[in-house]
Structure 1
Amino acid sequence: MRNKKQETITFKADEALAEALHKVPNRSEFIRNAILNALENGCPLCQGTGILTTEQRTHWAKFLNTHSLQKCDACKAVHLVCGSNDSPCQH
């Protein structure tokens, strides 16, 4: 089996972030895991950017006419609830 080629990627960090990262025992592993987690768990609507386009905001506003955001009393997670199906979180 061939080893996968690895690539070194660098990025700039402000002083506070650099200082915090210096305290992490295995920075490379920490950064890899943080990036993979962010990529796997990004918002499906904004795709992890944190910003909706004008078109996405229009669709989102229409969606909220029949859906809502609610906080689960059991697990405290914010989730979407369809206006025609108000079933609670299954915790």
Structure 2
Amino acid sequence: MSPQKKQEVITFKVDEALSKALDGIPNRSEFIRTAVMAALESTCPLCCGTGILTPQQQKHWQEFSQNHVLIKCAECHSLHLVCAVGHKEDEGQS
């Protein structure tokens, strides 16, 4: 038998609208676990999801952004970083 992973119970408050939205979901715990994991997997690696850079991160970002540009993908329309060194505008629009 494999040892069971220790589980921890975490609770949080929700407003009435979110409570009603979750009403029809059969397994709310599993739904919430999946949603939280999905959100954590797509969190910005620089700000860790806060949306704010520390002064030290801002300094590093300023240095980094001198040689990198944001380009909008012509196919999926997502913004992504591209190294500006040797980059031609028409090549980055893929």
TM-score, normalising length: structure 1:
0.81
Letter matched to residue 50 of structure 1: G
Where does residue 4 of structure 1 map in the other structure? Answer: 5
Q: Is there any run of 5+ residues in structure 2 with no aligned partner, and where?
A: none
Label 1:35 to 1:89 Cα distance change in 2 as closer, same or farther (>3 A): farther
Once residues 72 and 32 of structure 2 are traced to their aligned partners in structure 1, the CA distance between those partners, rounded to angstroms, is 30
CA-based RMSD: 1.9
Once residues 4 and 63 of structure 2 are traced to their aligned partners in structure 1, the CA distance between those partners, rounded to angstroms, is 49
Q: Is there any run of 5+ residues in structure 1 with no aligned partner, and where?
A: none
Greater relative contact order (CA < 8 Å, ≥ 6 in sequence)? 2
Query: Any idea what SS the aligned residue of 1:17 has?
Result: helix
Aligned length: 90
Contact residue 70 and residue 78 of structure 1 kept, 8 A? yes
Runs of 4+ with >4 A deviation: none
TM-score, normalising length: structure 2:
0.79
